[in-house]
Amino acid sequence: MIIRKSTKYYLILPLFAIFFGLMIFPTVFGWYLSFNEVFLSTFNEPVFNGIKNYINVLSDRMFVKSLIFTFKFTLLTTLTELIIGLGLAILFNRKIQGKKFFISLLLLPMMVAPALIGVMYRLLLNEFIGPVSYYLGKSLLVSQYVISTVIIIDVLQWSPFAFLILYAALQTVPKEYYEAASIEGAGGTQKFWYITLPQIRPFIIIVLLIRGIDSFKTFDMINVLTSGGPGSMTTTVSIYIYKLAFQSANIGKSAAASLLLLLIFSLPLTLALRKIYRERS
């Protein structure tokens, strides 16, 4: 059967159409909106205002405050999940009775949608009807505890993801390395630092990259649980953009904030990808 050269281009047209519709067009349209004064009520009548939206976003104290909280949240959750995931991976990387059952149980939290996790903990931590608040005698969603609470909830849900990646990584480390190290008299700590850690370093970077990006754009769980409150204590950049677009109805400014978030993402993402490429090389 002879296939014409032009046929291959027709075959990729559906993929290109999906890519254009979901990636290229929204990005270009977002740039267009960010340089215009656009509200929901005047969506069909945009007024060009140059970089005014970007200046307004960068001078907005709420944006800066949400950015600082997002960075803190991302750093604390990502590192904690990495440490817990690595510890669990090492723990299960040996013969344990019922290991498959416990691993299946351990992976359950990350199978639940973040919004559903938010609803579940909102009921559990409710000041009036929540069983946790009842037994503790205080609410964990007040300003004194709320930041620690959302961090712990995120860690409980996503530590299994770090565990899954790192547990798979440990399976790739040749046992001969540990046997040779034992013959040389190396202890458990030395084996970890000089064999295990270097061998799984690329996987650690992947965990940090994926979880860092996901934590930085967290929206569902926190929005359902606290709506960014009390006040604006748990307002992430994603929640800030959402409120700007759908509560303040300022589409132009929210588009500018979204693109600034994209630019903030770009630098660490590029550095991380270069690091992964070097590790693989």
Low-confidence ranges of the chain (pLDDT < 50): none
Residue at 218: amino acid letter: T
pLDDT reported for residue 185: 83
Confidence (pLDDT) at 179: 85
* pLDDT single digits (tens) 170-202: 998 888 888 888 888 888 888 889 888 989 988
Report pLDDT for 205: 87
pLDDT on residue 115? 93
* Residue 250 pLDDT: 92
Q: How far apart are the first and last CA of the chain?
A: 40
Residue whose tokens read 């588009």? 255
Span 60-280: which CATH code?
Answer: 1.10.3720.10
106-119 pLDDT, tens digit per residue, is 999 999 999 999 99
In this predicted structure, what is the pLDDT of residue 280? 64
Whether the upstream peptide bond of residue 230 has omega within 30° of 0, thus cis, is: yes
Task: In whole angstroms, give the CA distance from residue 41 to residue 159.
Answer: 43
Beta-carbon contacts of 162 under 8 Å, excluding residues fewer than 6 positions away, are 81, 82, 84, 85, 86, 207, 211
| Residue 62, Cβ density class (10 Å: 0-12 exposed, 13-18 middle, ≥19 buried) | middle
pLDDT of residue 85: 96
Q: Cα(144)–Cα(146) distance, rounded to whole angstroms?
A: 6
Q: Is the sign of the CA dihedral 203, 208, 213, 218 positive or negative?
A: positive
Query: Domain boundaries in the chain?
Result: 60-280
Strand partners, 36: 48
pTM above 0.85, yes or no: yes
Longest pairwise C-alpha distance within the chain: 77
SS (H, E, C) 38-56: CEHHHCCCCEECCCHHHHH
Q: How far apart are CA 67 and CA 179, in angstroms?
A: 48
**What sign for the dihedral angle of Cα 137, 143, 144, 145?**
positive
Neighbours of 267 (CB within 10 A): 9
Cα 74 off chain centre by: 7
